[in-house]
Amino acid sequence: MLRWHGPVESTTLRIAFEDVEIGGTTISRGAPVIPILFGANRDPRKFEDPETFDVGRQRNPHMAFGFGIHSCLGAPLARMEAIAAFDVLFERTGGLALAMDESDLDWPKGFFLRGPQRLEVTAA
Ligand code: HEM
């Protein structure tokens, strides 16, 4: 789920220490860069069928918690919270289904922190 639509879509700002070429584009020393994690999480070179939602993926090297020295300090806690919350939610409801038109999902315009403003669901 984090690969598919993580709540943090980009890292914070980075500044290039030196000229670097990535994918045919030169990023000059001193230039600001905001890596988009969402793009990395849909990279077809890393994920088979990247546009498919599959919670059972065996190989899932996603970057929803960032990467390198600034990768998320709270990742283990977030994973534990999610397991506890989804366990209870699915136990109590037996499963959920979207109860609104997908086109009515109200996604924020920005790209740093993302999530629909409202999500109507019904017990499946
Ligand atoms: C699903 C939940 C979460 C997601 C998707 C997430 C995602 C991220 C990402 C992508 C970064 C890297 C930002 C960057 O590179 O600029 C980050 C950093 C960080 N996260 Fe999280 N986070 C989550 C939950 C949490 C929680 C629960 C805590 C604390 C209790 C936390 C604490 C931090 C801290 C302190 C950093 C900064 C690490 C550093 O800059 O060295 N996060 N998080």
Per-residue pLDDT of the chain (124 residues; tens, 9 = 90+): 999 999 999 999 999 999 999 989 999 999 999 999 999 999 999 999 999 999 999 999 999 999 999 999 999 999 999 999 999 999 999 999 999 999 999 988 887 888 999 999 999 8
CA-nearest residue for atom 35, ligand 1, is 73
Determine the pLDDT at residue 109.
82
The reply to whether ligand 1 has any atom less than 6 angstroms from the CB of 50 is no
The reply to whether ligand 1 has any atom less than 6 angstroms from the CB of 83 is no
Determine the pLDDT at residue 111.
77
The count of structural domains within the chain is 1
The pTM of the full predicted model, rounded to 2 decimals, is 0.90
The token pair at 11 is 């890292």
Instruction: Provide the residue range defining the domain that includes 49.
Output: 2-123
Ligand 1 midpoint to CA 99 (Å):
30
Cα separation, 41 vs 71, whole angstroms: 15
* Residue the block writes with tokens 């609104």: 100
- Name the nearest CA neighbour of 28 among 37, 19, 36: 19
In this structure, the number of other CB atoms found within 10 A of the CB of residue 43 comes to: 12
The reply to whether ligand 1 has any atom less than 6 angstroms from the CB of 65 is yes
CA-nearest residue for atom 19, ligand 1, is 72
The reply to whether ligand 1 has any atom less than 6 angstroms from the CB of 3 is no
The reply to whether ligand 1 has any atom less than 6 angstroms from the CB of 78 is yes
